[in-house]
Amino acid sequence: MSYLKKDTPIPEPMDCRILTAALNLFVEHGFHSVSVHDVQKDANVSIGSIYKHFGGKEGIAKALYYHLLNEFEEMVNDVTEEDLTSRERCNKIIALLFSYTESRRNIVSYMLYAKHREFLPDEPPICSSAPFIAMRNIVQQGIDSGEIRSGDPWVIAASVFGGAIRMIHLRLDGVIKEPLTEFYDEVVDCMWQGMTPAAAPGREKRRAAR
Amino acid sequence: MSYLKKDTPIPEPMDCRILTAALNLFVEHGFHSVSVHDVQKDANVSIGSIYKHFGGKEGIAKALYYHLLNEFEEMVNDVTEEDLTSRERCNKIIALLFSYTESRRNIVSYMLYAKHREFLPDEPPICSSAPFIAMRNIVQQGIDSGEIRSGDPWVIAASVFGGAIRMIHLRLDGVIKEPLTEFYDEVVDCMWQGMTPAAAPGREKRRAAR
DNA sequence: GTCTATACGCTGATAGAC
DNA sequence: GTCTATCAGCGTATAGAC
């Protein structure tokens, strides 16, 4: 059942084999380029089973999405419950995301790239789903406690996590060749320099183009 | 011919009507969910013309991609040729990207979300294509001239543009309701606070989790 | 519960008239 | 150069045997 956790204990045969096969195929070829037959073949089950369990291709994608979203949320919640400062929580989330990108590449890719609108017509986009809101809330707490400069919560959250997320994109696209974990210190350092309340008032700026 | 430029002068009837229709359909429904018949209907041309001009659906997607990529590259090159500091160049690119996201939403969405691997099997991913490399080079010049803190060029580039790109994603997903231009000052300010060479040595850090 | 075989619609692509 | 009519193949989904 556990995809994100390191110690996957060999999941229930049927459902999970289907989900795992679908995940890999979706990421490698794209949702619409994969047929139910492809999944069926890869998972060593029959088409009937797939329709019995998930009701079709969209059903698989939905189940996969919610399952992974849930695990992601648990991860963020775990970090939230630890006794850490807001900054340490942000850092930990970034570290975990980097780590997962290396060890569970396809999962991160699916959650980051999949156009969920395609199979979840009227579901909130991933950016406004629970775990991302939790991340924004961590940032909000940091603002309230004075650890992080104040401002629009989404802007601050985008500034905190934007660099790291961009690094993940570059890594998934093959632009960056080395494991992300090597860049963790530098990314986090760059980011916090701009997020300290002390730095907020701004000196020497106000010369921006445009 | 000009999609990115503000003053689109009513393009050549045929080719551009097809490309425009395809762009909107691709963005709204996804590449694979759109049939050639859909494009044909929307563009008010016949299937024959489409196959004559573009050779099929993939041909349309490719033409669209290269066309827009080219315009994007021109935009970056224009900024590069202006007499500005590296920082001002970065700011101007961010300002232009924000502006285009508001005025030419589908174009930005297509370039940002489209999985180009699907129709460009062995083409470099967008992140390593010419305009993005040009952006990284601007950052590199800033590092060389001492305007920007030193470090791995991709990390620094990700830190410079990551927050802004994240804001674009949030805006395209409908999470952010107000025009991006309203957030420009704050985004740029946050970012440069972390990018100044003076700030690089690092004080009070080295407490990162993980 | 699991499988196989089959039906039906849609999509990409072409041939040939105008 | 542009269009219409048509085809062949694939992909989803189902019905029914085991």
What average pLDDT does range B179-202 have in this prediction? 81
A-chain residues within 8 Å CB-CB of B186?
Answer: 151-152, 155
Looking at every residue in chain B, the average pLDDT score rounds to: 88
Choose, out of A155, A191, A206, the residue to mutate when testing the contact with B (most B CBs < 10 Å).
Answer: A155
Q: Given a cut of 50, is residue A101 above it in pLDDT?
A: yes
Distance A40 CA to C3 C1' (A): 12
Rounded mean pLDDT of B163-192?
96
Chain B interface disruption, residue of A84, A138, A143, A170, most B CBs within 10 A? A170
Query: How far is Cα A191 from Cα B203, in angstroms, rounded to an integer?
Result: 13
Cite the DSSP H helix spans in chain A. Answer: 13-29, 36-43, 47-54, 57-81, 86-103, 105-113, 130-144, 153-172, 184-195
Please enumerate in sequence order all residues whose Cβ is within 8 A of that of A21, keeping only pairs 6 or more positions apart, or say none.
A39, A42, A43
pLDDT at position A115, please?
Answer: 78
Nearest to B30 among A32, A155, A199 (CB): A32
Q: Which fold has domain B69-209?
A: Tetracycline Repressor; domain 2 (1.10.357)
Write down the pLDDT at residue B131: 95
Please name the nucleotide lying closest to A55, CA to C1'.
D13
pLDDT in tens, A170-193: 999 999 999 999 999 999 999 998
B193, A185: Cβ pair inside 8 Å?
Answer: no
Nearest Cα of chain B lies from the Cα of A12 at a distance, in angstroms, of 32
B14 C-beta less than 7 Å away from strand D: yes
Structure confidence by residue, pLDDT tens digits, A31-51: 999 999 999 999 999 999 999
**Could you tell me which residue, B30 or A199, shows the higher pLDDT?**
B30
Contact positions of strand D to protein Cβ (< 7 A) = 1-5, 10-16
Cα torsion through A115, A116, A118, A119, rounded to 10: 150
pLDDT digit string (tens) for A14-26?
A: 789 999 999 999 9
- Measured in angstroms, the CA of A78 and the nearest CA of chain B are apart by 14
**A69 vs A13, residue with greater confidence:** A69
- pLDDT mean across residues, chain A: 88
- The H or E element containing residue B78 is helix B57-81
d(C-alpha B136, C-alpha B134), whole Å: 5
Residues 25-54 of A with CB under 7 A from strand D: 34-37, 47-48, 51
pLDDT tens-place string over residues A65-91: 999 999 999 999 999 999 999 999 999
Question: Using the beta-carbon criterion (under 8 Å), do A170 and B154 form an inter-chain contact?
Answer: yes
Instruction: Give the count of beta carbons closer than 10 Å to the beta carbon of residue B161.
Output: 23
pLDDT of residue A8: 43
A-chain residue closest to B95, CA distance: A210
The residue type of A108 is: V
- Residues of chain B contacting residue A127, judged by C-beta atoms under 8 Å apart: 169-170, 173, 175
Å between CA of A78 and C1' of D11: 42
Tell me the chain B residues in contact with residue A112 when contact means C-beta distances shorter than 8 Å: none
Q: Coil, strand, or helix at residue A145?
A: coil
| Contact between chains at A175 and B167 (C-beta distance less than 8 A) | no
Establish, for the pair of chains A and B, how many residue pairs have beta carbons separated by less than 8 Å.
179
Q: Which nucleotide is nearest to A58 (CA to C1')?
A: D12
Q: Which of B159, B178, B195, B205 best tests the A interface by mutation, with the highest count of A CBs <10 A?
A: B159
Tens digit of pLDDT for each residue in B62-113?
999 999 999 999 999 999 999 999 999 999 999 999 999 999 999 999 999 8
Residues with Cβ within 8 Å of residue A121, at least 6 apart in sequence:
none
Query: What pLDDT sits at residue A204?
Result: 41
**Region label for A196, one of left (φ > 0), alpha (ψ between -120 and 50) or beta (otherwise):** beta
Q: Residue B126: closest CA among chain A residues belongs to which residue?
A: A173
